[in-house]
Amino acid sequence: MGYGLVLAFLGAGIAALMAGIGSAIGIGIAGRSATGVLSEKPERYGQMFIMVVLPGTQGLYGFLGAFLIMLRMNFFGEGGVAPISVPLGLQILAAGLPVGFAGLVSAIHQGKVCSGGILMAAKRPEMAFKAGVIYAVFVELYAMLGLVVTMFIVLMGISWPEVAAVAGT
């Protein structure tokens, strides 16, 4: 396996791994707050649930970014992955960074925002959606932008000469 291919797989791995780690941390932060509230007010489960799972979307964005990279590399094709040069491998590595880093950082901060929303909803349930979820969605926007940048790089910014020959595209 050449260095270019290693770099390309590293790009896919960073996209999924970093966004997944951020999601796990963000869900953990929000989940701790929710369990505390639910121990006294179990009827608020529905309000808490959305704010606990919201930081998990960044992990999905990272997975999608990694999937697109591997798809373009023909990882799932019958012909196998073509040899990838080091410059192309570096481009693919760079393509995985936006969704990986944006997912890592935004999921952690979204978990903190959701935690605050959960604590607020414990005392003022009518504010759960108005402030708790809406504020968390603003943080989500930056994870989406990281995914969009990764998609632009993978789908339009990289010339895939070696991979295209194997994949037949």
pLDDT at 164: 47
CA–CA dist 115, 168 (Å, integer): 48
Residue 166 lies in a domain: no
CA–CA dist 83, 22 (Å, integer): 32
Contacts of 114 (CB under 8 A, 6+ apart): 26, 29, 30, 33, 51, 52, 54, 55, 132, 136
Residue 12 lies in a domain: yes
Residue 136 lies in a domain: yes
pTM for this entry = 0.89
**What does the DSSP assignment read for 86-123?**
HHHHHHHHHHHHHHHHHHHHHHHHHHHHHHHHHHHHHH
pLDDT at 1: 66
Residue 50 lies in a domain: yes
Residue 165 lies in a domain: no
81 Ramachandran zone, left/alpha/beta (phi>0; psi -120 to 50): beta
Residue 167 lies in a domain: no
Residue 135 sits in a domain whose CATH number is 1.20.120.610
pLDDT at 16: 98
Each of the 169 residues of the chain gets a pLDDT tens digit; together they read 689 999 999 999 999 999 999 999 999 999 999 999 999 999 888 888 999 999 999 999 999 999 999 999 988 888 788 789 999 999 999 999 999 999 999 999 999 999 999 998 888 888 877 778 899 999 999 999 999 999 999 999 888 765 445 545 4
Residue 133 lies in a domain: yes
pLDDT at 163: 45
Of the candidates 129, 121, 127, 131, which has an alpha carbon nearest to the alpha carbon of residue 41?
Answer: 121
Residue numbers of the domain that contains 31: 3-159
- Total tally of structural domains belonging to the chain: 1
Residue 27 lies in a domain: yes
